[in-house]
Amino acid sequence: MSLDAVLRSAISGLNASQAALRITSTNIANVNTPGYTRQEVQFATTVVDNETAGVKVSGIRRVVDAFLQGELVSANANATYYDRQNDLHDKLQTVLGRPDGDNTLAARLDRAFAALAETAVEPGDIARRMGAVTDLQTLADDIDRIARQINTLRADADRQIASDINTINAALEEIFQLNPLINEQMLVGGETGGLEERRQQAINRIGDIVDIRVITQPDGFVNIATRSGLVLLDKTQRKLQYTPTGQVDTSSQFNQITVNKVDSITGVVASTGDALYPGLKSGSLKGLLDMRDKELPEVLSSLGELSARVIDGLNAAHNDNSRVPAPNALTGRNVGALGTDAHGFTGDATFVVLDANNQITSQYTVNLDNPALVTLNDVISNVNANLTGGTLALTNGVMSLTATAGTSGVAIQQSTADPSGRGGRGFAHYFGMNDLMEARGPAHFDTGLTTTAGHGFGSTGTVSISLQGPGAQVATSYTLNFASVGGTVNNVLSDLNTSFTGFATFGLDSNGKLTVTPASGFQDYVVNVSSDSTARGATGVTFSEFFGLGERHRQDAAFNVKVKSAIKSDPNLLALAKVDLTAGAGVAALTTGDNRGALSLRAVETSSIAFDAAGDLTSITTTLASYAGSLLSTVGQEADKISNLAQDRETLRAEIEAKREQISGVNLDEELANMIVYQQSYNAAARMITAANEMFDALLSVT
């Protein structure tokens, strides 16, 4: 070998060792960098004219086990899915309180009914009345607080969703920019390790948020798609589009997340894209979407059902009671009833007028089974024709009973033998003429209508209805147009069932409540109403409000819950007595010492009440306290399950990460050993250069 060849071989060794030292120092510097993949230098013999001519760096390779890397991306997605849910469940548990605490809904219920029991001891005592009203309002405030905080959690989830979308878009942009750079370096034989490391870190950020598959092409590009096959990136850039809702309420309509192509020349994002959610299986984004659109709304629906039954049960008793003295007028709420409606009542109801001394001056018991009484107008006319000193009227959906004389009072009382009933509620109760409590939404949607009854919405107005699932995905939608629908409830049901064939079935139960049963495969979907321009006669009540169409109406029963303002301001208006319909002439039919009304209010706590299926709770007949306990228990069990799953998935992720680290991670001992080897190699190469130089000098001196 010539001295020139020796010099060139030594220089190649010097350069190779220098490159190896640089990579080793990079590995050591990133020993604490999460997810860093160590690199190693690959050497090859340099051959010139069939003779060895030193060494060269043939490549710098990232030490990666492709299988473990893919499994780690999947494990990260599974872990973050449950982690995000666990975080929101922890916050929900804080909102609801500990099941064994004294500030839970069950505890609030106990205190409220205990206070009502106190009023039965001495009905006329203002302090006891004030205590009962205060505890009822505290219960109402607690329900409202929990409902609003659940919506706050949904808003928090929505903000995190928007943040995750921004993270994905930034990572996709970075990968799109890195792909051609890596390809370029591969073509010219350059180093790609650093660029690939940056790309992998970006891929990991996406993999934490959505479950993905990464396919590396021979040219160095990577394609990214969800596990279900929705492409997020290939040679065409894509961007996720989402507009957060901001403040969340029961009426909030969330936008879908779509994957839209980006024009390679103009950079303009396409206006339409593919929906992301249906293809998501795991990842933090799916965890947030499931909590926002399914888990939290289900808890809110269960809370709304509890609130509705509390309100409805207390109102049922209060409407059959009377304060002392009786009020000059009883005025109900707008229930959307029309005078031309079939009255739908059975049984008897007694209408009473009392003088200033609480003595009955007139009473009339209407037989609502009388076939001559067909419509509400017939009932009103019959009562007014037989009741002296009082007037029954229906105005724009509001029923009222008013004493003619300003000093007189009125009352409505159920018959003991055959109480009146429509949709399971007595006359005064159905119209809310002497309610104790109220909320933003009605406590029930038992209209009392039958399928053959007229729907009452005329021939104008439309209702835009959709069947919507988690992630705001819409299975189908339809606009109900009353201009093309017949006049009966059955006509409306037929039109809806035809339009939602294969997706949901609409029906009417025995109490006149509209039911919606999603088809198989759509169990997690709910009905949403985006617009409603209908009105039931002059009442102004829309179709969706009247029938409670859409989950929001059930949830609204948990908002703005309160004791009626007049009673809250003056506890003397609390109706704790009942009219003695058998009182003779000159005998007071109402007395302040009568505690029968107070006992009926107290009895609501232990009454068996029929609860509809709501959220994770199935339909059941039980007490209010038992249902409240079931609600807290169900939420607690779900939180515990999610916590355990989060721990399990994190353990699995850590195990896979540890295995990956064994192969791809930086081992300081190994790197320091390599550094010594490369240093010695560098020194040896340098010594060879010195030796060659000395030999050149010797030869030159001889000549």
* CA dist., res. 428 & res. 421, Å (int): 10
Residue 242: which of 225, 260, 227, 224 has the closest Cα? Answer: 260
Which residue stretches of the chain have pLDDT < 50? none
* CA dist., res. 605 & res. 626, Å (int): 10
Any domain includes 51: yes
Any domain includes 15: yes
Any domain includes 99: no
Q: Indicate if 222 and 197 belong to the same structural domain.
A: yes
Q: Is 610 exposed, middle or buried (0-12, 13-18, 19+ CB in 10 A)?
A: exposed
Q: Indicate if 417 and 471 belong to the same structural domain.
A: no
Residues in the chain: 703
Q: What is the pLDDT of residue 101?
A: 67
Q: What is the pLDDT of residue 135?
A: 96
Q: Distances from the Cα of 54 to the Cαs of 11, 13, 23, 50, 512, in angstroms?
A: 8, 7, 20, 12, 92
* CA dist., res. 443 & res. 450, Å (int): 20
Q: Distances from the Cα of 585 to the Cαs of 229, 403, 602, in angstroms?
A: 84, 19, 31
The total domain count for the chain is 4
Q: What is the pLDDT of residue 37?
A: 75
Contacts of 125 (CB under 8 A, 6+ apart): 119
> Which residue, 526, 547, 568, sits at the end of a domain?
547
Any domain includes 153: no
Q: H helices within 105-189, ranges in order?
A: 105-121, 126-187
Cβ(113)–Cβ(127) under 8 Å?
no
Q: What is the DSSP letter of 607?
A: S
Q: Indicate if 416 and 502 belong to the same structural domain.
A: no
Any domain includes 493: yes
Domain limits for position 406: 328-431
* CA dist., res. 385 & res. 378, Å (int): 11
Any domain includes 223: yes
Q: Indicate if 45 and 80 belong to the same structural domain.
A: no
φ and ψ at residue 209, rounded to 5 degrees: -95, -40
Cβ(510)–Cβ(526) under 8 Å?
no
Contacts of 399 (CB under 8 A, 6+ apart): 331, 332, 335, 337, 392, 393, 431, 433
Any domain includes 76: yes
Q: Indicate if 265 and 399 belong to the same structural domain.
A: no
Q: Distances from the Cα of 616 to the Cαs of 106, 186, 661, in angstroms?
A: 18, 55, 42
Q: What is the pLDDT of residue 372?
A: 96
pLDDT one-digit tens code per residue, 145-154? 999 999 999 9
pLDDT one-digit tens code per residue, 260-297? 999 988 989 999 999 998 889 899 999 999 999 999 99
> Which residue, 294, 313, 344, sits at the end of a domain?
294
Q: Indicate if 49 and 82 belong to the same structural domain.
A: no
Number of neighbours of residue 44 by Cβ within 10 angstroms = 11
> Which residue, 522, 547, 572, sits at the end of a domain?
547
Q: What is the pLDDT of residue 99?
A: 66
Any domain includes 608: no
Q: Indicate if 189 and 244 belong to the same structural domain.
A: yes
Q: Indicate if 277 and 346 belong to the same structural domain.
A: no
Q: Indicate if 199 and 276 belong to the same structural domain.
A: yes
Q: What is the pLDDT of residue 703?
A: 58
Q: Indicate if 525 and 410 belong to the same structural domain.
A: no
Give the chain's end-to-end CA distance (angstroms, integer).
21
**Token pair of 540 as six digits:** 């102004």
* CA dist., res. 513 & res. 508, Å (int): 5
Q: Indicate if 24 and 74 belong to the same structural domain.
A: no
Q: What is the pLDDT of residue 378?
A: 97
pTM for the model: 0.88
Q: What is the pLDDT of residue 351?
A: 98
Q: Indicate if 74 and 214 belong to the same structural domain.
A: yes
Q: What is the pLDDT of residue 238?
A: 95
